Amino acid sequence: MKKAKIYKPGKTAMQSGTKKYNKWVIEFITKKPGINPLMGWESSTDTFTEVKLEFSTKDSAIQYAKKNQIDFELIESKNRKIVKKSYSDNFIK
């Protein structure tokens, strides 16, 4: 079976909310796409490039991968360190 990576996607720098980023994703690792000689676009014969499965918890994603005999690599998410500041902190030093 294919190899997959299980990860929790990170928030982009352009967005402040974190609502969309609380799910775990299984994404299959595939070979690099080739160039279509007719049109010059990137293309691939591997349809696993289009598959992304979302799970509410890390354990359910791991359980699904084990049940379907998918080799996986678990990528742990890094916790954000939030420093609470007030507006007046800009003028103290």
Parallel, antiparallel or unpaired: strands 71-75 and 3-7: parallel
Q: What is the CATH number of the domain that holds 52?
A: 3.30.160
- Binned at pLDDT 50, 70 and 90, residue 6 comes out as very high
Compute how many other C-beta atoms are within 10 angstroms of the C-beta atom of residue 62. 17
- The residue behind tokens 């509410």 is 56
Q: Indicate whether this model's pTM tops 0.75.
A: no
Residue-number span of the structural domain to which 36 is assigned: 3-92
Task: Name which residue leads in pLDDT, 48 or 64.
Answer: 64
What domain count does the chain have?
Answer: 1
Residue 1: per-residue pLDDT: 63
